[in-house]
Structure 1
């Protein structure tokens, strides 16, 4: 039996060995327990399923229109990478149910290989988080969360979509829960011919088709009072063809990932302890010519043991101890990377103090031990003061890091085993205002990164990674939200503005693919069974070269989407959406224009 499925079978059977008759109190099992604490001192945008269904093309589209994250996408549905606050994709951590799932090979995640509709909610947290979430949590973290509810009975939902470029998107979710058992299954299949033209750029998106499927299974069981066992597993398989010219070579990329985690949650009046056992496996294959065998590839495995212990000393103080150990393995194909093994462990301690309803303070320290690498001692210091009922002040100071990836260290030719870990210091001052149905957040920040890892041309004719750059970034993240309900009418509006000034200290030039200005907005109006919504995004001039060459820069652009959802029967919702309403010609990555105006029709059935 394949070892990953054997691992899943062990995890699935384990809870059944510990059945008991007592009932726990909790009604929802949340896999990422640390987010609730982070919410007290950091701005976290939470997108629920209803928000995700407004941008069902892929995760890139959701983040582009509904978050401060900057997205660089090589055409619709293609390779895509995120960045926060002037950092890079390698300095952004993807967190799946509390576990860092960045690729050991690349040190980052490809957004469009992280299936959108396989999660119950998506949360975006700006700012450093390495004390809790480890390597790469420098600019921010993107949280892909599943949850299991109790005592809800049977629930099912089916989603179907057909759109331009022969795009098909389907999703099925089914769950059952009673007082002690919760089970949820979901599956998603998406495909698109993805052929589109942009005449103004003399561009045809040839060989741009993609296909992916995703399956999730979660189980939670309450074992007596205060004990819950939970298991979550996910399998994703996707194929992306890379766009080319009419006479160019056609290539493609295939990825396959498997994730599984077993959690034991013990909770009493003063103690909460969560023990996690996880296994992650990622495989990728690149075909430079579709008809020929793969030209490169690799397989990575991560086995993780993590314990999160929280002790309430009294009503004011709580101590949180987080320890983890992980074994990373990597095997490349045509990359010079043979069999690589890396052991890593970490110890973190956080002290939380809440002397009054108006005050909250948190201090953390962490030490990572990574085989054959030096790592810094990390820290975080946060506080919140509710000045009055309409204004609160938040302060964050942290030291974060990223250690080199397998490719950075071992790729041949070029890998550099002498690389140092990137180290970042960040300070943020959050100002939150709230008056009735109106809320406003203003968060100026300053970020400095040392030992930045960059691949540069080497003296022997190939690229090599070196610790060269020092990056300084400062800016502002802000968001205004309004919610209003009157009778059978309800309206919501959210507008965000992001200002980023990110400079390479060595050259004095602006960082590539970092727009100085970004504005994103979402508005919806609902009356009875009908909802009308609109989305808008403005992105300022974006440099694509390190010398700030304006002729090569991506011009500013404004894109707007709109749609309508109508409940045609009690449990059925029909939706129509127009993407890029004003037919804007724009790029998020040089030489890869995004589609002009396009359409989709959706059907959601809850039963």
Structure 2
């Protein structure tokens, strides 16, 4: 594919736009075309498929041990939700290939009902991003990205893993590409009896079984030197059995099915690019109050999405970007009082980027959402990055972000509140990046002011209902240190972080529940010739679970250590062994639901 050299320089360390003659290169089609622009102004944590496989039990473990995100999980593999910087799970946006996939009903993503395998990269962005990524991008966003390369020929691999608690994980992928066509397919099947025991808590994870199946397929075709038609599709089917506390307790389960399909037409020519996307997403779930009886409740959600992203270079220093999106959100509940409902959602956003020099750049954005029957605020963002010295870079971002009420918030019966306002936040983010040889240190202070917080509260009528209640102010520090060194056949990589989060309910002046003041994580990788070793650790500080900061009900601090080793022979065959929770730590992320103690896994990979 032919591409302007200005676009190549966009991804370079200088990130400046300079017009020059065209150049032919092997290309990679990236479905989230905005992410490369986001990286010019914001710190992004990127995880590769190899990183993801270190914590192969579920997406919760990946985020818990390798990112700044705090995860609360009702026992391994059960209901799980994320928290950025002291915000709620509804204030986190999940983005699949550039499309916001938060549930219409819950307004969030259940992490353990989102596929783990089949992505080419996972990227985590802290801080507000509603101008680009829509409702819910208040505390941060989690990006699940696929890409398709050209001129790479055939490639395939099979991964298989056997773990404690009768856990089996199998993943296969294959790809083929030439100069005009690229296709990639993958499939994953995961099942676990999940029947672990924690003697110290007199706890057995009864009825903890879960399984899921995922199928991904993507294809891209160059219909002209500057034009590409691409398609990405994901099918997911899963079941979670919810733990019970006594042997003869009532066994329940939750089934979910997801379909996501995205068609894109991209034009990249001279100083102009345009990406037109049409997507269909479907999220269905069923809750069974008794695993042996018909479903007790459920819902079906369907979204029709059309999005156009226009990018134009006015001059070597000015770039304008216009994004328009229209959605039809449909839903129908079962035994929830939610009837057959439909909502139209549209938005218009404009961004302008100014590259003053190779070391100084700015971006300003504005966006207006049009949500049927809901008043939405005018959103804005301003970012600037300055490479002040060779070893010191600084960037500042100010933004206004929002989350509009979910279908459950509005229509659940009894209790739904059609008069709810959208949550809004004002975010201030700053990154200080310091480089010393092979070390890189990032210090990121932040501040958030969240208003019209949506809370479900008991009513005098005996049921719960959502209301716009208090204001929350969150402030703190995210920090990260990375190091990479190669010498001969040796390679050493370090990725570690520490977070301090103060998130205060302005009515009670107390810390928000399930927001630890302190979290630290670290990952060390060492490679020698055909051998690889990794060690990862997680420290979680005292975490309050009640609104009055009752110490007796708080989750105690804990430290969890994992490690693994693998060997690759003939560049095709890999055999490995992992130990999770090496020190046999007894810990919880949600009260009354202990996580597994020491457990093991053996895995093998074959590359073709």
Fold conserved between structures, TM > 0.5? yes
Q: How do 1:149-548 and structure 2 match up within 5 A? A: 149-245=149-245, 246-548=247-549
Match of 2:17 in 1: none
Match of 2:94 in 1: 94
Alignment partners' CA distance in 2, 1:584 and 1:469: 37
1:24/1:226 contact within 8 Å kept: no
| 1:355 CA displacement | 1.4
Alignment partners' CA distance in 1, 2:278 and 2:496: 40
How many residues are aligned here? 585
| 1:435 CA displacement | 2.0
The answer on 1:30 being equivalent to 2:30 is yes
1:492/1:524 contact within 8 Å kept: yes
The answer on 1:556 being equivalent to 2:562 is no
Q: Determine helix, strand or coil for the equivalent of 1:254.
A: strand
Alignment partners' CA distance in 2, 1:460 and 1:177: 62
Alignment partners' CA distance in 1, 2:548 and 2:424: 25
| 1:26 CA displacement | 5.3
C-alpha distance after superposition, 1:558-601 (max 9, x if no partner)? 00000001113430111100000000000011110000000000
Alignment partners' CA distance in 2, 1:256 and 1:26: 37
C-alpha distance after superposition, 1:123-147 (max 9, x if no partner)? 0000000000000000000000111
Alignment partners' CA distance in 2, 1:31 and 1:45: 18
2:73/2:81 contact within 8 Å kept: yes
Q: Determine helix, strand or coil for the equivalent of 2:457.
A: strand
C-alpha distance after superposition, 1:500-535 (max 9, x if no partner)? 000000111110000000000000111100011100
Match of 1:592 in 2: 593
| 1:25 CA displacement | 5.1
| 1:285 CA displacement | 0.1
Q: Determine helix, strand or coil for the equivalent of 1:596.
A: coil
Alignment partners' CA distance in 2, 1:158 and 1:546: 48
C-alpha distance after superposition, 1:76-100 (max 9, x if no partner)? 1111100101000000000000000
Match of 1:10 in 2: none
C-alpha distance after superposition, 1:197-216 (max 9, x if no partner)? 10101100000000100000
1:517/1:539 contact within 8 Å kept: yes
Structure 2 spans left out of the alignment, 5+ residues: 1-22
State the 4+ residue runs in structure 1 displaced beyond 4 angstroms.
23-26
2:26/2:151 contact within 8 Å kept: no
Q: What TM-score does the superposition give when structure 1 sets the normalisation length?
A: 0.96
2:313/2:320 contact within 8 Å kept: yes
Alignment partners' CA distance in 1, 2:146 and 2:559: 33
1:24/1:227 contact within 8 Å kept: no
Match of 1:137 in 2: 137
Alignment partners' CA distance in 2, 1:310 and 1:394: 23
Q: Determine helix, strand or coil for the equivalent of 1:469.
A: coil
Structure 1 spans left out of the alignment, 5+ residues: 1-22
Alignment partners' CA distance in 2, 1:553 and 1:70: 16
More displaced, 32-41 or 395-404? 32-41
1:195/1:204 contact within 8 Å kept: yes
2:522/2:538 contact within 8 Å kept: yes
Q: Determine helix, strand or coil for the equivalent of 2:509.
A: coil
Q: Determine helix, strand or coil for the equivalent of 2:376.
A: coil
Alignment partners' CA distance in 1, 2:354 and 2:248: 64
1:564/1:576 contact within 8 Å kept: yes
Q: Determine helix, strand or coil for the equivalent of 2:590.
A: coil
The answer on 1:77 being equivalent to 2:71 is no
Alignment partners' CA distance in 2, 1:406 and 1:469: 21
Alignment partners' CA distance in 2, 1:494 and 1:370: 41
Alignment partners' CA distance in 2, 1:542 and 1:29: 42
Match of 1:11 in 2: none
Alignment partners' CA distance in 2, 1:112 and 1:602: 21
Q: Determine helix, strand or coil for the equivalent of 1:117.
A: coil
